[in-house]
Structure 1
Amino acid sequence: MQSAATNPEMIHVVCKADNRQHAVVSIPSVDQKLPSSSLRARPVLLALTSNNLSYARGGDLLHWWKTYPVPPNAPSPYNDQSLWGIVPAWGYATVTESNVPGISPDSLIWGYWPTSTSPTLLRLEPSEPAGHWVEVSSHRQQLMPIYNRYEQVSSDEEKELDERAWTALFQGMWVAGYLLSEYVFPDPGAREPVHPLGAASKLPWSSDDADLSSAVVVVLGASTKVARSFTWCLFDWPRASGPLGLVQFTSSPGVLQEVADREGWGEVSKAFAYTEIDQATGWIEGLQPTKVVIIDCGARDNVLSQICQNLQESAPRPYKTVILHVGSQQKVYTSEEVQEARAAMQSLGKIQYNTSGIQDTIIAREGAATYFGKVSRRWKGWLADRGSAIPDMRLVWGQGIEGENGIYGGWERLSNGEVRPEEGLSGSRARPEVMCPFYGIGIPPLGANHEGGPVRATAIIAQEGEELIFAVTNLSSEPSAGAGASTGLVEGSQCRIPLN
């Protein structure tokens, strides 16, 4: 039973055959009776990262397209669910209505949401620890369990908006790096290691496989979010328990080397540009490892094969080489490129990494309350330390699902490989009756050049009563395409925008 349509909502849809094709479409907002044990929640803060490209690329194989099918009342041709889909994103939503015991309207929920302004229907059952929930809708049961987990967070906590933005942007991938460091390659003697695919794979992963004491760890795509969280956790190890050396390949080696130096790892950790493969190979050889562990978080084309070839040709003795596939290059892959990537995984003997599989294994071993308690404590530590861990990242806020500064523009940049590792895209709304999505971009330091052009400003947004407040810092005299470019703002100024 449903009532007449009210104000229209907006959704961002992506072509399943060619992820570069996308659109923002309006759909009528229809009042429907809430099913039992259900709630509706409207997304308020979402993040776009390279992972979202993976959700689109693997949407059929891993069932991500089934999470939030395009509503049948969307305009043609976008209502054809075989051709178009909604790519989910991590972030927060506010409950608009609920009959789930323990979750009241206006509650704030963390989880996996559609890139949409529309209230989203969830069927939730309680999980552990308290405040954690599992989505049980039949159409979502083929998803990996991590994507059906939701957490109720206290909406009255006096958290700054930018902290929630960092959580939306980083936490999902931070967990991947944390598990890689703490459970796949754990500190010797700390705990039993977990295979990169998890126990469900039934594949062996011994203490010898996990031992890094005589290994050099090579991280490709070292400026990515998973890589940064992995190295942050690794730098917390007792130095004597760590690897012989750490090599980080990145387009921004200077920043990563500064972080390693500050953490006391400078002598055994070196950051190299992608053009410095020969120098890196020589440095690895000087450490005389017996094993090289390569963690591929999304290296550029042919970098991995070049490194493997260099190590094979120049090593005085054969190394045991372990290659983990954690992430892919930030781009839309053609079907031919997907086939080539799969063939390369087989020929190089790459091991696929699966965050959900590892998390499920640890929950089964330790219990959900113990596991999530550990994750929460370490995550809070990273949040407090983020200024030191990722000193080159800043948040800039734009507005709208539509247009260059909205979800549409964020996807445009992602799908064309224009978002640097230092950047992140997120969006929020101001209040239920006014949907104001924002996307936040982490930018290099003032005056640095990147593929999108020179960065000239950082704008921080807050809400006070019925107004949004923009406080502008690090603003140069030249206009830019970023936040505040057309407002005439000056350094240190504030701009108040009424919501009504």
Structure 2
Amino acid sequence: MQRFEVNKAAFGEHRVSTIDEPELKDGEIRVAVDFFAFTANNMTYAAAGDALGYWQFFPVAGADGYGVIPVWGFANVVESRADDIAIGERLYGYFPPADSLVMLPVRTDDRTLFDGAKHRQALPPLYNRYQRVRAGGSMQAEHLQALLGPLYNTSYCLWDQIQDHDYYGAQQVLLLSASSKTSIGLAKALADDNKAPPVLGLTSAGNIDFVKSLGYYDDVLAYDALADVPQVPTVIVDMAGNAATAEALRNHLVGNLTYFISVGLTHWDQANTKLDAGGDRHEWFFAPSYMLERSAALPSGEFARNAQRFVMAAAASAGDWLSLQEVSGVEAFSQHYADICAGSMNPAEGLICKL
């Protein structure tokens, strides 16, 4: 089995390892990963790997400092010693960028199962949950689900929190890393909300035309134009995690900063990953926890239905601007990884790795 691994201290250093596949124990299944998606969001998993435990999902043996960045994708059951899981079943969920994975299905029903592997039990349950895929879906829909589903779920959660707090009294919502797909999803949710304040996006100079073309932002500025950010009450949603940019905006807005939400680390190489950093009126947003809290607060199933409705509609509309780029095999993927790691991938593209 081949598996893509990165140096946990220097994400630009990576390798493809060949690993012996273990024999199955009673109750376990082996799945062959069919394909996975990879975006800048996966670099957030790496940057917060120690703080939030992402390195623990698919641990690497040895002490040479390498780890596995988790990915979202689809896989087929190719071997089973679990009574209620048949060979040929298809699963959607959280996988390693590797040819296969051994899982221990627990809490199974007609729609879902959870991986009961011992080392995963202290980790957020959302990432241990797998969807049992019904036959008849299109490959295009599966690609969009793997690429945008996790990101747009986070987008919806952010919109839900912001509107539930009456937009934090802001007269504008400022999105950092406006070209990231999670920002795009949030910008769409806010654009669809006639009560939301205007949305201002910050992005690199080379992405300004693309971000404007989406039609979701009321205005777009480059990072070197922070002084042009209007001095009005502002809630910031930071997908970039660039510590210098965040500090510059705090100094610029001063008393007009009503709330600061840190979400992603697309600028992982310039980030502050200490979860207690940021000062007053600041939080690190963790979508899995928010989903659990909000689901408990609302009538049963309401939050999940609303989120799914948004994700499906937003993903469908992404066909207007998103093009999918497919590569075959872990070795081929490793050649594209450098672009994502460096933040130089075209924001209008989405990468799918077929195994």
TM-score (norm 2): 0.89
3-state secondary structure, aligned to 2:345:
coil
* CA apart distance, 1:324: 0.7
Find the counterpart in structure 1 of residue 130 from structure 2. Answer: 150
Q: 2:49 aligns with which of 51, 59, 72?
A: 59
Find the counterpart in structure 2 of residue 327 from structure 1. Answer: 264
Contact 2:51 2:275 in 1 (8 A): no
Q: For residues 93 and 239 of structure 2, what CA distance do their matches in structure 1 show?
A: 23
Find the counterpart in structure 2 of residue 409 from structure 1. Answer: 335
Equivalent residues in 2 for 1:351-430 (5 A)? 351-366=283-298, 369-388=301-320, 391=321, 393-402=322-331, 406-428=332-354
Equivalent residues in 2 for 1:68-147 (5 A)? 68-70=58-60, 79-81=61-63, 83-100=65-82, 102-118=84-100, 120-126=101-107, 130-147=110-127
Unmatched segments (≥5 aa) in structure 2:
none
Q: Does 1:293 align with 2:235?
A: yes
* CA apart distance, 1:299: 5.7
Q: Does 1:253 align with 2:190?
A: no
2:330 partner amino acid? I
CA RMSD of aligned residues (A): 2.6
Equivalent residues in 2 for 1:38-49 (5 A)? 38-49=28-39
Q: For residues 246 and 278 of structure 2, what CA distance do their matches in structure 1 show?
A: 13
Equivalent residues in 2 for 1:209-288 (5 A)? 210-211=166-167, 214-237=170-193, 239=194, 241-243=195-197, 245-251=198-204, 252-260=207-215, 269-279=218-228, 281=229, 284-285=230-231
* CA apart distance, 1:373: 2.9
Contact 1:174 1:226 in 2 (8 A): yes
Contact 2:6 2:69 in 1 (8 A): yes
Structure 1 residues 217, 83: CA separation in 2 closer, same or farther (over 3 Å shift)?
A: same
Find the counterpart in structure 2 of residue 23 from structure 1. Answer: 15
Calculate percent identity across the aligned residue pairs. Answer: 22
Find the counterpart in structure 2 of residue 166 from structure 1. Answer: 144
1:187-231, Cα deviation, whole Å (9 max, x unpaired): xxxxxx4xxxxxxxxxxxxx4xx4356521111111111111111
3-state secondary structure, aligned to 1:20:
strand
1:90-123, Cα deviation, whole Å (9 max, x unpaired): 11111112344553211111110011113x1212
3-state secondary structure, aligned to 2:293:
helix
* CA apart distance, 1:12: 1.3
Q: For residues 277 and 153 of structure 1, what CA distance do their matches in structure 2 show?
A: 46
Contact 1:145 1:360 in 2 (8 A): no
Contact 1:42 1:93 in 2 (8 A): yes
Q: For residues 144 and 124 of structure 2, what CA distance do their matches in structure 1 show?
A: 24
1:378 partner amino acid? F
1:410 partner amino acid? H
Q: Does 1:13 align with 2:5?
A: yes
Q: For residues 298 and 223 of structure 1, what CA distance do their matches in structure 2 show?
A: 10
Q: For residues 87 and 202 of structure 2, what CA distance do their matches in structure 1 show?
A: 47
1:44 partner amino acid? D
Find the counterpart in structure 2 of residue 176 from structure 1. Answer: 154
3-state secondary structure, aligned to 2:99:
coil
Contact 1:48 1:410 in 2 (8 A): no
Q: For residues 126 and 72 of structure 2, what CA distance do their matches in structure 1 show?
A: 11
* CA apart distance, 1:348: 6.8
Contact 1:64 1:87 in 2 (8 A): yes
- Structure 1 or 2, whichever has the larger Rg, is 1
* CA apart distance, 1:44: 0.8
Contact 2:250 2:257 in 1 (8 A): no
3-state secondary structure, aligned to 2:122:
coil
Unmatched segments (≥5 aa) in structure 1:
1-8, 71-78, 187-192, 194-206, 313-317, 429-436, 438-500
Find the counterpart in structure 2 of residue 495 from structure 1. Answer: none
* CA apart distance, 1:427: 1.1
Structure 1 residues 40, 309: CA separation in 2 closer, same or farther (over 3 Å shift)?
A: same
Contact 1:330 1:414 in 2 (8 A): no
Q: For residues 271 and 227 of structure 1, what CA distance do their matches in structure 2 show?
A: 12
* CA apart distance, 1:127: 6.0
Contact 1:112 1:150 in 2 (8 A): yes
**How many matched pairs?**
353
* CA apart distance, 1:367: 6.5
Q: For residues 85 and 211 of structure 1, what CA distance do their matches in structure 2 show?
A: 38
Structure 1 residues 242, 56: CA separation in 2 closer, same or farther (over 3 Å shift)?
A: closer
Structure 1 residues 20, 257: CA separation in 2 closer, same or farther (over 3 Å shift)?
A: closer
Q: For residues 308 and 114 of structure 2, what CA distance do their matches in structure 1 show?
A: 18
TM-score (norm 1): 0.65
Structure 1 residues 57, 297: CA separation in 2 closer, same or farther (over 3 Å shift)?
A: closer
Contact 1:46 1:89 in 2 (8 A): yes
* CA apart distance, 1:80: 1.1
